[in-house]
Amino acid sequence: MTKEYITTWFQGLQDEICQSLEEKDGKGKFHQDLWERAEGGGGRTRIMTDGKVIEKGGVNFSAVHGEMPEKILNALQLPKANFYATGVSIVLHPQSPMIPIIHMNIRYFEMSNGIHWFGGGIDLTPHYVQEDDAVFFHQYLKDVCDRFHPNYYPKFKQWADDYFYIKHRKETRGIGGIFFDRLSSDEGFTKEERFGFVQAVGKAFIPIYFHMVDHNRDKEYGKNEKKWQYLRRGRYVEFNLVYDKGTKFGLDTDGRIESILMSLPPQVEWHYNVQSAPDSLEKKTLNLLKKGIDWAGSNGEL
Amino acid sequence: MTKEYITTWFQGLQDEICQSLEEKDGKGKFHQDLWERAEGGGGRTRIMTDGKVIEKGGVNFSAVHGEMPEKILNALQLPKANFYATGVSIVLHPQSPMIPIIHMNIRYFEMSNGIHWFGGGIDLTPHYVQEDDAVFFHQYLKDVCDRFHPNYYPKFKQWADDYFYIKHRKETRGIGGIFFDRLSSDEGFTKEERFGFVQAVGKAFIPIYFHMVDHNRDKEYGKNEKKWQYLRRGRYVEFNLVYDKGTKFGLDTDGRIESILMSLPPQVEWHYNVQSAPDSLEKKTLNLLKKGIDWAGSNGEL
């Protein structure tokens, strides 16, 4: 299982996902920018703008290498080493507030000293939380995880709850999903088996997102729902700029800014002290943006 | 010079500035929220929304006290102490992209061990940099500083250049201004004299902002200028959420979120890899968003 093999598979996944999304969207096309990193490696940034379904979306591949930054070596208490990092990273902001924002990332990291690991996850940020979609989403992820290890879903689901948390708002970013990092030889799996899991997560993206699109694209909405969408996107920005480790890492290491910040929504609003009416769908959503909801266990019965 | 005296003066300044801004705006009124902090103290958050000139603006006063957070004591290598902090903080986002965003903050901090200092500054973020406004702005600040010490303007101007810098964009947030912190017994000034300087900075806010409004409020603009304004506001968000120490301090110490994040603009846009035409006013602005421009020395001749 060489890094070249993993890299090529990631590129293939990017191609596949872009093609599927273009077909599903029916109007938007991905624009590709190839970029190179002075210190080694580069990427393929692909952005769709003003599609029928997707207002702004990025499906990015990168494979970078070079010397490990001092800052990170110190944090991890490691001696000098070279690194190689490759991954696929997706954020899609839909036109319709009835369709959730989705994020997926899978990544592989190795160092010249032999240390290597996988990381990744999928999480969903509905502007309006709908129980049936949330149950479908978590059940799908649980099924993927359960094919590999019974501990994976509960562990990675909680990891996502903890990671995608906007501390200063006391809100989760969305309904979570799964998140994992530094997946190495725990649970006795071989590297091939672990990569098998990462591949399964990557392959889950399209069926999950298509379900969300098909289930919600014909739902009507008006000015109020758009307004709410802009506000929820504000929370997305707050999370990504204040807490997201991938974004921070990119900004700290002088990464390609336009590729990193493609995750930011096209239109956003911040208003002072917005309050939602007690019985509104907005309030219902806020009440469901918390850690520890057992969506997959509940089968819709919360 | 007691903390009570300083606090009362800050409250008076807030009143005065709010009244002046309401008169100048002619339509918008400040809405006040009084808030209390569980650990001690509180504030008066005043927000104007949808004025004629000001689209969203906050003029906040706070005075909080309690035990110094461990995190900060450790960072400053100090033993346990109580603190008292009071200040006025302003951010105004205008309707018109031809009027700059303005920020002003003055603050006083003291600890039970006798350590105390002042901090503050004013900086300007024009959506379109105009040389005559920039010269007026810096000359005005230089005149205020020069009344106290010939070193103040050059020192605090450079401090603002360094502080209001969006590292990942390699851009300054705007055209800078002055920024100072931990103003204690340097230069041999008494506490009264140092407070005199802080008062002069506070008093400079209205004449400076009125000049910017009067000089620009009748300038015409269209869709393109509004679009540019939304993009520039995106940079303002990036600075405040990624770099601003006041915001970080507030989020870390569980401050009142709606008061802290009042600085975020009402409407914002992020688009992928926006490029400005070589001879455009947008490009000219980007070329002027850098450190070390000697606006006050140049008298308009750059």
The whole-angstrom separation of Cα A55 and Cα A27 is 11
- The whole-number pLDDT of residue B300 equals 43
Whether residue A301 has pLDDT greater than 70? no
- Domain residue extents for chain B: 3-298
Whether this prediction's pTM lies above 0.90 is answered by yes
Rounded to the nearest 5°, which phi and psi values hold at A65?
Answer: -150, 165
Q: Would you identify the CATH topology of the domain A3-297?
A: oxygen-dependent coproporphyrinogen oxidase (3.40.1500)
Secondary-structure breakdown of chain B: helix, strand, coil percentages, each rounded to the nearest 5: 45, 25, 30
Tokens read off for A86: 């490759």
**Mean pLDDT (whole number) for A255-284:** 96
**What is the tens place of the pLDDT at every residue in B213-263?**
999 999 999 999 999 999 999 999 999 999 999 999 888 877 899 999 999
The whole-angstrom separation of Cα B68 and Cα B113 is 11
> Which of B34, B238, B273 has the most A C-beta neighbours within 10 Å, making it the best mutation to test the interface with A?
B273
**Mean pLDDT (whole number) for B1-28:** 97
Tokens read off for B113: 């061990």
B246 touches chain A (CB under 8 A): no
Identify whether the C-beta of residue B171 lies closer than 8 Å to the C-beta of residue B126: no
- Cβ of A251 within 8 Å of Cβ of B237? The answer is no
Alpha helices in chain B (DSSP H): 3-25, 70-76, 131-146, 152-163, 191-216, 223-242, 245-252, 257-260, 281-288, 295-298
> Which of A31, A35, A49, A273 has the most B C-beta neighbours within 10 Å, making it the best mutation to test the interface with B?
A273
Whether residue A288 has pLDDT greater than 70? yes
Identify whether the C-beta of residue B60 lies closer than 8 Å to the C-beta of residue B262: yes
The whole-angstrom separation of Cα B240 and Cα B261 is 9
More confident residue, B56 or A255: B56
Whether residue A299 has pLDDT greater than 60? no
**What is the tens place of the pLDDT at every residue in B112-165?**
988 899 999 999 999 999 999 999 999 999 999 999 999 999 999 999 999 999
Whether residue A153 has pLDDT greater than 90? yes
Work out the minimum CA distance from A143 to partner chain B, whole angstroms: 35
Kindly name the residue from B65, B93, B103, B271 that is annotated as catalytic: B103
A59 touches chain B (CB under 8 A): no
**Mean pLDDT (whole number) for A173-185:** 93
What type of residue is A219? K
B51 touches chain A (CB under 8 A): no
**Mean pLDDT (whole number) for B72-98:** 91
Q: How many CB atoms lie within 10 A of CB A207?
A: 10
pLDDT band of B301, cuts 50, 70, 90: very low
Query: Exposed, middle or buried: residue B294 (CB in 10 Å: 0-12, 13-18, 19+)?
Result: exposed
A242 touches chain B (CB under 8 A): yes
**Mean pLDDT (whole number) for B33-62:** 96
Q: Would you identify the CATH topology of the domain B3-298?
A: oxygen-dependent coproporphyrinogen oxidase (3.40.1500)
Active site residue B103: yes
